[in-house]
Chain A
Amino acid sequence: MPDSVKLTVNGVAVAAPAGAMVSTAVAMAGANAFRRSVSGEPRGPLCGMGICFECRVTIDGRAHCRSCQVVCREGMEVRTDG
């Protein structure tokens, strides 16, 4: 198994450790806000275990994915709305 997985976050290339969650890749890409709240505040992960929905991002075109519960895959395209 390779040591790292290459994916993009908002078009920026990131090499995440193999087995890392998408939330880690988003943080590594330097994005602070994973999403904007209903009143426009920047938000990032809170619970880290799939409960709070604060870390949701768009993965390969699918919206509202909890980035803390999806493992990075080679070539994934991740978008935040932050």
Chain B
Amino acid sequence: MADRAFGVVVVGAGPAGLTAACRAAECGKRVAMLDDNPQAGGQIWRGASPQAAAWMRRAERLEVEWISGARVFDAPAPQTLAVETFDGEFRVGYGSLILATGARERFLPFPGWTLPNAMGAGALQALAKSGLPLAGKRVVIAGSGPLLLAVADYMKAHGVDVRAIAEQAPQAAITRFAMRLAGHPGKLMQAIALRAGLLGVPYRTSCWPVSAQGKDRIESVTLRNAAGRTWTEACDYLACGFGLVPNLELAALLGCRIASARVEVDDQQQTAIAGVYAAGEATGIGGLELSLVEGEIAGYSAGGNVDRAQALFATRASHRRFAQALEAAFALRPELRSLPQPGTIVCRCEDVSFERVRACANWREAKLHTRCGMGPCQGRICGPSVEFLLGWGAESVRPPVFPARIGSLSR
């Protein structure tokens, strides 16, 4: 039995979740929006974002029930989600469900990547936005994708000594991508691309980290470029992520069809399960504008307004073409598969080395024999890296999709 029931439940309060919740509420539905973070806005709008605030005010006016700090860990009955908060557990029922679960950074293991103060690019930005003083600190930003530039921009604006941006993609691919941006309405991306040259920070393409050094925390990072040159940069922090990967665990648990590492949806953003919709990065990495419009379409569809949804299809198609260009430009180079050394930790939860994982035939064997992917993150970090390194697809998902307290599970 659900403790509370809504016409539409939206999981995730980032851009896609916010637009979905508002549009569904405008159609007259009683809507609840859940997120495991304390604030709405998702990762991209983390902190004091005027856009997030504007959408939140709209959601409040539309009487969307905002449930923060709420983590969905199971789907124990049809049209029912089990949710845990810091203080307890409850069950929420839905007529329609919209999954706007967003994305996380992809991490690749290399010697030293587990040292404290070596973290994701978005992670360091999140810490900074939460008030960690970084002014004057030496930061190396590395990995791949436009996020690196956004983070560099933010860091520079806050007095951080950004030593280098190491982008693994080649300059030619990025130039092609930047030229496409010129004609695209994606304002943020455009601004970032144009400013890349103006940051006053070396933006090194075809360049990637090969190791990090330090005792109790990172002290330096060694970079390599495609020409074979290797050098070391001293730093206080390494902000490193190799693009984004969708959060698919809840969709998988519900039985939605997943292909090419994204939730499959139809024109209405409906998944293979009737009444369950998906929008935003969960349906494939596409950036802010695509997330917003997919959320709107999902919200209208779940609200029963087919015409309003349909009117946005052309906009969505345009943003999807941009997403494809993005994916092509920042494709990971094969050299990155040789980043981990035999002793490099791949699974950080269980401290499983690359040589132990590689000795297995597949993901299941690695789980059973080495406990790779069996710790509290449930393979969310090592799964995408092992998929890139060894080509193993993800295993099936079982509840709870997040570690939950005994009291929550025993209900």
Contacts and interface: CB of A to CB of B under 8 A. Distances in A.
A38 to B, nearest CB: 5
Contacts of B122: 47-49
B217 A42 contact: yes
Given A39-B351, A48-B126, A33 B216 contact: yes
Given A44-B217, A48-B126, A69 B349 contact: no
A62 B126 CA distance: 24
Interface in A18-66: 19-21, 23-24, 27-28, 32-34, 37-39, 41-54, 56, 64
Contacts of B258: none
B376 interface: yes
Contacts, number: 112
A13 interface: no
B133 A38 contact: no
B171 interface: no
A42 B116 contact: yes
Most A CB atoms within 10 A — which of B71, B116, B120, B351? B116
Contact of B375 (A34, A53, A68, A70): A53
B327 interface: no
A71 interface: yes
B116 A34 contact: yes
Interface residues on A, range: 35 or more
Contacts of B131: 16-17, 19-20, 24, 28
B63 interface: no
Contacts of A28: 131-133
Contact of B217 (A32, A39, A49): A32
Contacts of B381: 46-47, 51-52
Contacts of A51: 104, 247, 377, 380-381
Interface string B114-136: 11110110111111001111000
Interface in B67-118: 69, 71, 86, 104-105, 107, 114-117
B37 A48 contact: no
Given A24-B127, A46-B107, A52 B380 contact: yes
Interface in B28-79: 36-38, 43, 69, 71
A76 B349 CA distance: 26
A37 B380 CA distance: 17
B105 A44 contact: no
A39 B120 CA distance: 22
B161 interface: no
B348 interface: yes
B134 to A, nearest CB: 10
A41 B114 contact: yes
Contacts of A42: 115-116, 216-217
A38 B374 CA distance: 13
Most A CB atoms within 10 A — which of B43, B115, B132, B380? B132
Given A17-B131, A24-B132, A32-B116, A46 B351 contact: no
A69 B114 CA distance: 20
Contacts of B153: none
Nearest to A50: B36
Contacts of B216: 32-33, 42
Contacts of B86: 70
Given A53-B349, A69-B36, A69-B37, A47 B123 contact: yes
Interface of B: 36-38, 43, 69, 71, 86, 104-105, 107, 114-117, 119-120, 122-127, 130-133, 216-217, 247, 345, 348-351, 375-377, 380-381, 403
Interface of A: 16-17, 19-21, 23-24, 27-28, 32-34, 37-39, 41-54, 56, 64, 68-71, 82
Which A-B residue pairs are the 4 nearest by beta carbons? A48-B123, A44-B116, A17-B131, A48-B126
26 contacts: A17-B131, A20-B130, A20-B131, A24-B131, A24-B132, A28-B132, A42-B115, A44-B116, A44-B119, A44-B217, A46-B107, A46-B381, A47-B104, A47-B381, A48-B119, A49-B37, A49-B126, A50-B71, A51-B104, A51-B247, A51-B377, A53-B349, A53-B375, A68-B127, A71-B38, A82-B116
Given A24-B130, A46-B123, 17 more contacts: A17-B131, A21-B130, A28-B132, A33-B116, A43-B114, A45-B123, A46-B119, A47-B123, A47-B381, A48-B124, A49-B37, A49-B43, A51-B377, A52-B348, A69-B37, A69-B69, A70-B38
